[in-house]
Structure 1
Amino acid sequence: MSAVETTTRPASPQPTGAPRWVAQCYRPSSASWEVCAEAAHRAPVQYALGEMAHTVRARGGDFAVSLWGPKDGAWQRFDVSTAATNATAPQAPSGPEEPRTLTERMSGRRQQVLMAGLSKAGLYDLAPEDHAAVQVLVERLDETTVRRVAQWLTAGRA
């Protein structure tokens, strides 16, 4: 990315709702930031960023991303300079709440897919019962079904 493009890109806005891990990708075509991944834990979001960065760069694109997460009960922007490039490499847990098993990671991925679908459908500020409903879906549905539900949510917004 050139220096001119870097200076004209606006800073990513703080996500709405309760602090959680949220990645926002910059869309040059609309000159806006869009949620591209979110989850209760950092690891699934970083993994998704690594996968996205790999895909975008393989297609010759420039991947601009901003990572937000909780710190002391409030939103904080975190450095993603290494997250987007090294997320597919094994990482040390960043805290005791980090998912540690394959089952937990897959649950995190399913939650991330559903939350992204809800965001694309325009549902950002979820109530506690909404988060509980998402958790039930994450626990009961396989990844293919979760992706289909997310596609329905996205299509409903169009």
Structure 2
Amino acid sequence: METRQARQGSPRSPQPPGDPRWVAMFHDPSSDSWRPAAESPDRAPVLYAMGEMAQAKRARGDTVTVALWGPKGGAWHLFDPAGAPAPAAAPTAERPVAASPTKLAERLGDRRHQVLMAGLSKAGLYDLTPDDATAVRDLVDRVDETTLRRVAHWLAVAGRSAG
């Protein structure tokens, strides 16, 4: 993940307020300010959200500057969002249920399905036949989200030019 904090002359993220927890801070170049974008007592959901937000910002052509703050020795610590190794596995009781691999895969599949259906809607394709629904399921199962977003974008552009 790109971070401009390591570069000389780039803005430095302020420490988040409150007790130490995992916090992703994103820089807004237009206002030259930082805002917390995701926070949790657990690191995994923050890293996941940080990756998703960075991908969305890059898809819009925005420059991504992010800082990852977390607890270390009971105090705040600024981590390298790109290269920091994951912390040792937490006891099972501390892991969020939503972060299980099965739930995560299901959520990502649902989201890919929504992305593709939104693209089809923008292209004016609302009434899908059973064969269309099968094709959508096949694409969702076999294609990554970035590729599906491109396909949805193409469909949306085609829908605007046809309308």
TM-score, scaled to structure 2: 0.50
Task: Tell me what 1:40 maps to.
Answer: 41
String of CA shifts for 1:8-43, please: whole Å, max 9, x gaps: 432001111110001100000110111111001000
More displaced 10-residue stretch of structure 1: 91-100 or 7-16? 91-100
1:95 maps to which residue? 89
SS at match of 1:70: strand
Check conservation: 1:41, 1:97, Cα contact below 8 A. no
Identity across the alignment (%): 49
3-state DSSP of counterpart to 1:48: helix
| Secondary structure, aligned partner of 2:30 | coil
CA distance in 1, matches of 2:8, 2:87: 34
Q: Distance in 1 between matches of 2:87 and 2:82?
A: 18
Structure with the bigger RCO (C-alpha within 8 Å, sep 6+) is: 1
Alignment: residue pair count = 96
Separation in 1 of the partners of 2:50 and 2:73? 24
Q: Distance in 2 between matches of 1:34 and 1:101?
A: 24
Distance 1:92 1:68, change over 3 A: closer
Listed as ranges, the matches of 1:80-91 within 5 Å are: 80-81=81-82
Equivalent pair of 1:21/1:69 in contact (CA under 8 Å)? yes
Structure 2: gaps spanning 5 or more residues: 104-163
**Equivalent residue letter for 1:21:** W
Q: 3-state DSSP class of the match of 1:53?
A: helix
Structure 1 residue 104: deviation in Å? 5.4
Taking structure 1 as the reference length, what is the TM-score of the superposition?
Answer: 0.52
**Structure 1 unaligned blocks of 5 or more:** 84-90, 107-158
Q: Is the 8 A contact 1:9 1:31 kept in 2?
A: no
The structure-2 alpha-carbon separation of the partners of 1:82 and 1:58, relative to structure 1 and needing over 3 Å to count, comes to: farther
* SS of residue paired to 2:71: strand
Paired amino acid for 1:50: G
